Structure 1
Amino acid sequence: MTAAPAVAPTRTSWIPRLAAVAAVAAANALVALVAPLLGADLVVAPPGQDPATVSVGAFAVFSAGFALLGWGVLALGERLLGRRGLVIWTVAAVLITLLMVVPPLSAGGTVATTVVLELTHLVVAAVVIPVFWKSSKAA
């Protein structure tokens, strides 16, 4: 009697990644809900534009949207470049996070609103980058 060949278990990357997308959308919606209690009116007035309030829904949609965009770019990089694609994506994600510090500073909001906007960028990066890295089949 011969033993069946051992099959290496495969990791499913989409489940933790989808959970990360949902988590950042929910977390940033919660931040937006709590922000007025901390003095942030969430009104921005970029130069040359009328003041507008950033809605809770916008926080959730943009957080999820950019997390999904990052997921798509990572999946493409993993497919085309393997581990090297994961490393390139990680470096790019960190650099983009650092660059995303600038837009809230020029959004024309109060200090509290600016802090909330900066925090939401960090929430996305703090959740998405490590979860996407750990769930990569290339890691």
Structure 2
Amino acid sequence: MAALTNVERASGTARFARARNRILVVAAAVLATALIWVIGEPLLGHDLVVASPGQPAMDLGLAEIAFVALASSLLGWAALAILERITTRAVAIWTIAALVVLTVSFLPFAGVKTSSGSKVVLALTHVAVAAVLIPGLLRTSARRTPSQSIN
């Protein structure tokens, strides 16, 4: 087996560090969402039970909230990684797309039946994922230039 060159070794180390940092960002987004659920449902007493027209009522527990946060965070990571491979404008495109997805994620609130307090808690979970995920993943972007640095 041939020895790795310094460039190959550095490239592998950078990829590992980026992946590790992105895993931490995803974990932080899920934890932020879980924290909002814990404050909103058990502590403040807002039952996150939603009913959509023609559907049975659904109780959104911690597992459901965490799963959606994890799935959306991983999809965001995948989208950024794909864009980084195909365009030099990955950061700009991904940021705009992430903000559009956040905005669209509020549309279902208009059609579900639940208390106003529960809607606020659910909206805050959406904001929490975006507030952690967007700046967190942007900080890890391989295509970021020094002028795009987020301090």
**TM-score of the pair, normalised by structure 1:** 0.87
Is this contact kept in 2: 1:39–1:112, CA < 8 A?
Answer: no
Gaps of 5+ in 1: 1-5
* Superposition deviation, residue 69 in structure 1: 0.5
Q: Deviations over 1:29-81 (max 9, x none)?
A: 22212212223110000111111210101111110110000100110000111
Q: Aligned letter for 1:118?
A: A
Q: What is the percent sequence identity of the aligned residues?
A: 36
In the alignment, the residues of structure 2 paired with residue 110 and residue 92 of structure 1 have an alpha-carbon distance, to the nearest angstrom, of 30
Q: Aligned letter for 1:126?
A: A
* Superposition deviation, residue 104 in structure 1: 2.4
Q: Aligned letter for 1:95?
A: V
Q: Aligned letter for 2:34?
A: A
In the alignment, the residues of structure 2 paired with residue 135 and residue 35 of structure 1 have an alpha-carbon distance, to the nearest angstrom, of 31
Q: Aligned letter for 2:118?
A: T
In the alignment, the residues of structure 1 paired with residue 143 and residue 34 of structure 2 have an alpha-carbon distance, to the nearest angstrom, of 32
Which of residues 72, 91, 100 is equivalent to 2:96? 91
Which of residues 50, 54, 61 is equivalent to 1:48? 54
Partner of 2:149: none
Gaps of 5+ in 2: 1-5, 145-151
Partner of 2:81: 75
Describe the SS at the equivalent of 2:70: helix
Query: What is the root-mean-square deviation in Å for CA atoms of aligned residues?
Result: 1.7
In the alignment, the residues of structure 1 paired with residue 100 and residue 58 of structure 2 have an alpha-carbon distance, to the nearest angstrom, of 28
